[in-house]
Structure 1
Amino acid sequence: MSEPDVTTAHAWQAIGGPAKLITKVSYRGTGEVLPAVLPVRQLARATVGACSLAAAELLAARNEGPVPEVRVDEGAVATAFRSERHLLVNGRGLTPFAPLSGFWKAADGWVRTHANYPHHRARLLAALGIDAGEGRGDAELVERLAEGLAALPAREVQEKVYAAGGLAVAVAPKPDPGDECAAGGPPLVEIEEAGEAGGQRLPSAPLPAAGVRVLDLTRVIAGPVATRTLALLGADVLRVDPPALPEDPDAHIDTGVGKRSTLVDLDSAEGRHTFEGLLDSADVVVTGYRPGSLDRHGLGAEELIARRPDLVVAQLCAWGRSGPWAERRGFDSLVQAASGIAAIEATPEGRPGALPAQALDHGTGYLLAAGVLRALTERQINGRGRLLRFSLAGTADWLLRGITPEPAEKGTHDPADWLTETSSPYGPLRHALPPVHYEGSPGNWGTPCTRWGTDLPAWVR
């Protein structure tokens, strides 16, 4: 590219990157990948480009050398943004959404539900008074759910299901581009620097994040994509889950590559002691739970930074840390529906549509990884940690308001060019290769995912 990509420059600036480095980034186009009404292709390549540049910058800072050139292939990006759809486990493809997840006609519009997890499914049905008793199959429950939702206004459904702990949102209309008074969403990134220095410099290493210890307290999909990327770049990533909240095996297989997985009960004295030991020597903590949900354990972002001024804390949520929905659960598909994206991507018949990938999840994940890498680079200079905040709603607002569509370069995209096969404890996997690329970067993860929750709660190095 003769000129720096404007969208990549915006993402790079948002995470505090030096403007002079943006000329290091170039792209190889492969046609109209991730086609949509909205500029999904540009968002996708910009977040991966910014992450690749942040990795190259950290590597140069550790080795006191020049920043490697970054060249990202849009084909690799498009394939990775749909990684869960390309994954085969023993030849079996994944089902991205459960039967009770999707768009439904309400009395006055549309609602979007998310019921992939059993507890969310049960709460959705309970909120609408639907008995999910023994013997009732998915087809019957789908019919009953459709009937129940069609009889209620969309916003009433939204509030009833939320009150029951479930997940449903009313589909919002298209944002009015001419309404200058319309409030935007959360910022793309919020950054707070710790007030005290104290962090040790990372030594020279062949990979940007080699030896960096990352506590991964995230679930589906953005947070795990971020920590999966840090693992690719050499970090020792330990995902920690509560024993009482099982993960979907397919989601873990897709985003657990390169990492280890352990179970720790923070409500027990033994579990809390174990976690405190891990925290004492961590470099990075990534959280993906609702704002405030970890506070009861004394693990709020501000508290972590106060205890460890050299710690990098990256906080991820669905709706942003302020506003009426800040404490609500949320997923990519729900944010698409509530932000107006689903209305923009609607079919000619008026049925709400979706982006060609879980682009808010994947884009936020790469941007979060980029923010962590940049924070580690800054810590090399001043010894201070950082608090970083990201949200799916912030990424959605950027997609809606902050990116100008541009035509794609000519070319063809074959996802097979960016897929590989790997052995794993779950059997042979066909999976997407990582899209993050700089001169000399690793082409694949060093290890497959381990079985969920089976690793020891300890650092390996």
Structure 2
Amino acid sequence: MRQSVSHRSVPQRPVPLPSRLAVGELAWRSVCSVGAALDPAGSALPDPDRIAAAYRSDRHLLVDGVAPDVWSPLSRFWQVTDGWVRTHGNYPHHAAALRAGLGLPPDAGADEVGERLAARTAEAATAAIVRAGGLCAPVRREDRSRDDALRGHPLVETTRVAHSPARPLRPASPTAPLAGVRVVDLTRVIAGPVATRTLAFAGADVLRIDPPHLPEPEWQHLDTGHGKRSALLDVAFDRPRLDALLADADVVVLGYRPAALAHLGLTPGSLAGRHPHLVIAQLSAWPGDDSPRGFDSLVQAESGISWLESSDTATPGALPAQALDHSAGYLLAAAVIGALRRRADEGGGWLVRTSLRRVAAELLGMPRSAEPAEQATAPVRTQEFEVAGQRVTTVAPAVRWPGSPDSFRAPRRWGADPAAWW
């Protein structure tokens, strides 16, 4: 089954995400895909300014009135002997692996990293860092033949992977059309958490599971944890408890690398074998079962987007938001809703999956302009929560359907809930 980004609705004004590429249009269609999945009549359209704010939610987040520092000094572009690379070191273990891959001590700073990278080729630097478990990608030029090939595959692929009886959706209210749907969230960073945040906004009971030894940056959890419960469980050593949760769940969302899922016994095939009633949603950086570690910024670099967004043709640039992440999250959420409806009508277990690189190919195939257009923006709609004694300010939700609420439910404190259904 193929899914494409909806073309049936047109915004009253462009989504203000100025770029040479059609970032605003991609964002509009991605958010609309969720509303259309919840309300096939499409009678409630989102606000373009809210979509832009949602895609840049990290820039509007305040904790006790202070904007958190969301980027590590090791997450940036670096010049190498034959061009540029992009690295990502926001997580401490990724920063440690980056330094190790370059043969640097654990306390090495950005200057030392830059010196080591300046003496290497992009290929050598990427290979060394990735081999050590770090994140690095060469900044490449656009490859139109590769993008054409990627667009030959569904943007979000939906396949039946198991046989099981039909499970009708529970009666729900207009404000919470997914009430009663249980979702196990095994994702991190942005794209997967945006997908599960969207399902929670529509009323699903979302339980996010994180390993105790890899804490999530506080700002990131507060930015994408709305409406979910948060529990700690090391699934590598306690898979029986996870399987007990999955036995009573409707959906599991996977955001770990395919190789890591295989190591944990959590590939879509193994999950479908043990739990044939599940809708399984899988997200990776690159397509295929050998996808390495990756983030939105690295996929922008590898796909040619960074050069297309360059302001001076000499140094790479970036999209006005982590648009691949956010678009993938909304598209995956829409596909999950569609798969739940198919399970209700036809039965079976279903797999929906996409990758950031596939979303990048979609963006690269859309119309583009010579220069970013000047676009006026409205004041950002925000809401406030009290979380663990802190005052958190975040943006209002972008997705709309008839009866949709105007605000998120508050995030829970990270890791504060039991790994059990209520």
**What is the DSSP-based 3-state SS (H/G/I as helix, E as strand, rest coil) of the residue aligned with 2:185?**
strand
Provide Cα deviations, 1:253-284, integer angstroms capped at 9, x if missing partner: 1111100110112233xx32321211111000
Q: Give 5+ residue unaligned stretches, structure 1.
A: 1-12, 58-66
1:420 is displaced (CA, Å) by 1.9
Would you say 1:448 and 2:415 are equivalent positions? Answer: no
| In the alignment, structure 1 residue 253 sits paired with structure 2 residue 217 | no
Cα separation, 2, equivalents of 1:96 and 1:159? 26
What residue number does 1:421 align with? 384
Going from structure 1 to structure 2, the CA distance change for 1:336 and 1:409 (only over 3 Å counts) comes to closer
Look up the SS of the partner of 1:72 in the other structure: coil
- Indicate whether 1:45 and 2:28 are aligned: yes
Task: State the 1:225 CA deviation.
Answer: 0.3
Q: Which amino acid aligns with 1:332?
A: D
CA deviations 1:399-425 (Å, max 9, x no partner) are 112x22489999732242x22222222
TM-score scaled by structure 1? 0.85
1:316 paired residue number: 283
Identify the residue that residue 421 of structure 2 maps to in structure 1.
459
How far is the alpha carbon of 1:294 from its aligned partner?
A: 2.0
The residue aligned with 1:291 is 258
Q: CA deviation at 1:16?
A: 7.8
Deviations 1:286-326 (A, max 9, x none): 0000013122333210121223332100001001125xxx3
Contact 1:87 1:93 in 2 (8 A): yes
Q: Does 1:188 align with 2:155?
A: yes
For 2:327 and 2:20, the matched residues in 1 are separated by 17
What residue number does 1:94 align with? Answer: 68
CA distance in 2, matches of 1:128, 1:197: 50
User: Does the alignment pair 1:75 with 2:49?
Assistant: yes
Distance 2:338 2:318 in 1: 32
Query: What's the offset of the Cα at 1:146?
Result: 1.3
Q: 1:230 aligns with which of 170, 174, 199?
A: 199
Match of 2:118 among 141, 150, 174: 150
Listed as ranges, the matches of 1:266-277 within 5 Å are: 266-268=235-237, 271-277=238-244
Out of 366-375 and 244-253, give the one that drifted further. 244-253
SS for the counterpart of 1:70 is coil
The yes-or-no answer on 1:159 pairing with 2:127 is yes
Q: Which one of 1, 6, 11 corresponds to residue 27 of structure 1? A: 11
Q: Write the letter of the residue equivalent to 1:378.
A: R
- 1:55 is the counterpart of 2:22: no
Give % identity: 44
Q: 2 CA distance for matches of 1:154 and 1:101?
A: 16
Deviation, 1:344, is 0.6
Instruction: Return the alpha-carbon distance in structure 2 between the equivalents of residues 184 and 164 of structure 1.
Output: 29
Which runs of no fewer than 5 residues in structure 2 stay unpaired? none
Match of 2:99 in 1: 125
Q: Name the SS of the counterpart of 1:423 in structure 2.
A: strand
User: Structure 2 CA distance, aligned partners of 1:180 and 1:165?
Assistant: 26
C-alpha distance in 2, partners of 1:364/1:130?
A: 35
C-alpha displacement at 1:381, in angstroms? 1.2
For 2:399, the aligned partner's letter is: V
Output the amino acid matched with 2:246.
L
Q: Is the 8 A contact 1:16 1:374 kept in 2?
A: no
Q: 1:180 to 1:230 in 2, by over 3 A?
A: closer
Alpha-carbon distance in structure 1 between the residues aligned to 2:4 and 2:147:
28
Query: SS of the counterpart of 2:78?
Result: strand
Q: CA deviation at 1:194?
A: 3.5
Counterpart secondary structure, 1:234: coil
CA contact (8 A) 1:26 1:71 kept: no
| Counterpart contact for 2:15–2:48, Cα < 8 Å | no
Shift of 1:384: 2.3
Deviation at 1:357, TM superposition (A): 0.2
Please tell me whether the aligned partners of residues 32 and 408 of structure 1 are also in contact (alpha carbons under 8 angstroms): no
> 1:426 and 1:112, CA in 2 relative to 1: closer, same or farther beyond 3 A?
farther
**Over the residues paired in the alignment, what is the CA RMSD in angstroms?**
2.4
Corresponding residue of 2:89: 115
Runs of 4+ in 1 over 4 A off after TM superposition: 179-183, 405-411
Any conservation in 1 of the 2:258–2:284 contact (CA below 8 Å)? yes
Name the stretch that deviates more: 418-427 or 233-242: 418-427
The one-letter code matched in structure 1 to 2:87 is: T
